[in-house]
Amino acid sequence: MRIVVGTHSFGRHGPVLYSFGQVDPVVSIAPGRVRGRIEQDTAVFLGVPYAAPPFGENRFAAPAPVAPWEGIRDALRYGATAPQPHRQHTLVPEPVIEGEDCLNLNVFTPDPGGPRLPVLVWIHGGGFTAGGNASPWYSGCRFARDGVVVVCINYRLGAEGFLAIEDAPPNRAVRDWIAALRWVQENISAFGGDPSRVTVAGQSAGGVACAALLTCPPARGLFRHAICMSGASMAWAGPERVRALAQALAHELGVPPTRAALASVDPDRVVAVQDAAVARLSRGSEAVRMAFGPVVDGELVLAAPYDSIRRGVPSVRLMVGATGEEFNVTAAATPGGVDEARLERRLGRMGLGPDAIAAYRTSMSGAEPWRVLGQAVTDSTFKAPAIRLADAWAGGGGSVHAYDFDWRTGVGDMGAVHCLDIPFAFDNLDASGVEEVAGAAPPQALADAVHGSWVRFVVDGQPGWEAYEPVRRPAMVFDETCKVVEDPWQLARTAGFSAGRR
């Protein structure tokens, strides 16, 4: 049945048009009609394909168009996730769903028949080897309540999405992101979205994906705002490294590193040996970096992205930030623990000289060595790249806002840990799995502040505080009390990290 358009109402952050009454909203898009369902006064469409299944003749190929269908296709359940390891413990609950039709997306809209609203396209994290769009943390119902249409996408992971293979197009996952954004341009108006008002956002690897799209020539004009949460590095892998990874994976599989040979191997088998291939390649290294990710190809991913930015940025408004203690959980669980000797060795391998190491010890006087290591890795992996991107974007004449999520959970030693800001940004503090990370009573007022800022940024590119500039470096610090602070990442900025430089 067609959804019945309701009346104007008011969400927590402004007026929206809700749809009430009838069930089973149906919309018409390019390949055919899709049926969704109503959840929290939101029309929800799950598992909608934006490209053909990337298997069979489409394995290791660029995303292919969706085949049209007859009748009405149900979009009532989450679609398949990309092949990935079945990990037992992750901070974000992201179920693994079997199936080949993994290039799918979810749409949350207050009214498919209403006025065209701004659109938020969400790219999930997971180190480019795991994750999916079916997490309850990514429900877009609260954004829809506040007048934003949300699209959450899946994309190919690991070797399927990023491995450089002879006679196969590189950066297949990047091509998936672009295909999803083009789907939004062609179809989102059917869901009440405005294709001229698209914001692309992501966290961790999803934030890195957004950073890649900023300088990706084929992505120009597909979005007007971008949010990089805990992921802003542009230290793309070069040809030598990706060739070595392909050779290592092929060695583990016992096949040559060609498209035909690798396509003959079951996807689950490829996933099963990925970690072994990465371990073979990085043996003896303690560096923290993603093995898979965007690869320099000169077409989609540029070799010198910062130079491109400094020559002039596209008219995209950017927001970039991180949590205060991204790496706490991993540092606390370091095998064998972290003593002073290991701390100094790790900091030295990150490019820190004696003065910088002394600065960390002074600023964190009395802290256990693992906490100092956790902060240094947080700064190296997340904050220093965010500063570099913000400086370059502002220097190229672009608009950029910076933030730091500093609220510390009382759960264990997590602190302001990686991923903690996601349920606050989505205003999903009641979602499954949030209590295990944020505790029994996370502050709703903080969620109102973070989520409200994200809504404002999606609407007009102005989150509610002054823009970043590379002299005073103002950034919003989200905590029990939210305030703008000048240069809150000074230590990360001045430490001299070698990681992430390119």
Strand order, beta sheet including 26-29:
26-29, 32-35, 72-74
User: Which of the residues 204, 230, 380, 453 is marked catalytic?
Assistant: 204
User: Can 418 be counted among the known catalytic residues?
Assistant: yes
* One domain for residues 261 and 363: no
Evaluate whether residue 247 is within a structural domain: yes
Task: Tell me which residues of the chain have a pLDDT lower than 70.
Answer: 1-22, 88-89, 283-289, 498-502
User: Which of the residues 13, 225, 401, 418 is marked catalytic?
Assistant: 418
Tell me, what CATH number does 55's domain have?
3.40.50.1820
Evaluate whether residue 500 is within a structural domain: no
Cα distance between residue 197 and residue 223, in whole Å: 7
Q: Which helix (H) or strand (E) holds 263?
A: helix 259-263
* One domain for residues 273 and 392: no
* One domain for residues 255 and 368: no
Residues spanned by the domain of 276: 239-281
pLDDT at 238: 85
pLDDT at 26: 98
Evaluate whether residue 296 is within a structural domain: no
* One domain for residues 99 and 37: yes
pLDDT at 88: 60
pTM of the model: 0.94
* One domain for residues 58 and 148: yes
pLDDT at 67: 97
* One domain for residues 337 and 276: no
pLDDT at 239: 80
Residue with tokens 């608009």, as numbered in its chain: 399
Evaluate whether residue 471 is within a structural domain: yes
User: Which of the residues 326, 380, 451, 453 is marked catalytic?
Assistant: 326
* One domain for residues 94 and 121: yes
Evaluate whether residue 301 is within a structural domain: no
Nearest to 125 by CA among 92, 148, 147: 92
Evaluate whether residue 47 is within a structural domain: yes
* One domain for residues 385 and 250: no
For the chain, the domain total comes to 3
* One domain for residues 216 and 70: yes
What angle, rounded to 10 degrees, do the helices at 267-281 and 239-253 form?
A: 120
- Structure-token pair, residue 118: 């701004």
* One domain for residues 334 and 267: no
Evaluate whether residue 454 is within a structural domain: no
* One domain for residues 243 and 368: no
pLDDT at 13: 52
* One domain for residues 213 and 273: no
